Homo-oligomer: A and B are copies of this chain.
Amino acid sequence: MPKTIEFFFDFLSPPSYLAYTQLPGIAERTGAEIIWRPMFTIGLHLLTGNTSPIMVPNKGVWARQDVQRFAKRYGVPLNINPHVPLNILPALRGALVAQEEGSFEAYCRAIYTAMWVDGADLSDPAVFAGVIESAGLDAAHFAEAIRSDAIKEKLKADTQEAADRGAFGAPTFFIGDEMHFGQDRLDFVEAAVALE
């Protein structure tokens, strides 16, 4: 049996970005396969009754410090995006398009870098198009493809699936039925696939 980690993530979530930076190392050390599952966290919150940490002012202050501490530990850049909250749906739908077309890795790297390193406003169609082009992909094609009902429905269904399987926020990891929440649980995720 191949070992797999299903990674439910959102581009809007700094902890998802942090997990994204660490998962390749886990895959390399354990031989596990990462199954990338884009989801719409705001939708997941609505489905499960959860709220963002930033809704509690003290928690928001701490959460921003906390992700920077982990970024420093991991040795990765992280700059809080001044345009957040922004409409992340086009970028998430684009991830599904890229998965179908085999360009996910380049797409995902470009979007995460734009969001959490460059501080780009991905809700601006021109900025979004520029980021896609920077990944060597066809922005006009993506602009068209993300408008399809099938893509919209898939993101909705995948978010519903996450809720149905017990998720309540991003990032969430599944190793079979075993669920872990948060980039700060990657050590448990790695242990789960290492021992399987």
* Interface size class of chain A, counting residues whose CB lies under 8 Å from the partner chain: 20 to 34
Closest to A182 in B: B184
Task: Please tell me which stretch of A25-33, A95-103, A118-126, A162-170 contacts chain B, meaning at least 4 of its Cβ atoms lie within 8 angstroms of it.
Answer: A162-170
A74 at the B interface (CB under 8 A) = no
Contact B188 A62 (CB under 8 A): no
A59 at the B interface (CB under 8 A) = yes
Copies held by the complex: 2
Interface centre among A58, A59, A62 (most CB of B within 10 A): A58
Closest to A58 in B: B168
Contact A62 B168 (CB under 8 A): yes
Nearest CB on B from A167, distance (A): 7
15 A-B residue pairs with CB within 8 Å: A48-B57, A48-B59, A50-B56, A50-B58, A56-B168, A58-B168, A59-B168, A59-B169, A59-B181, A62-B168, A62-B179, A62-B181, A66-B181, A66-B185, A69-B188
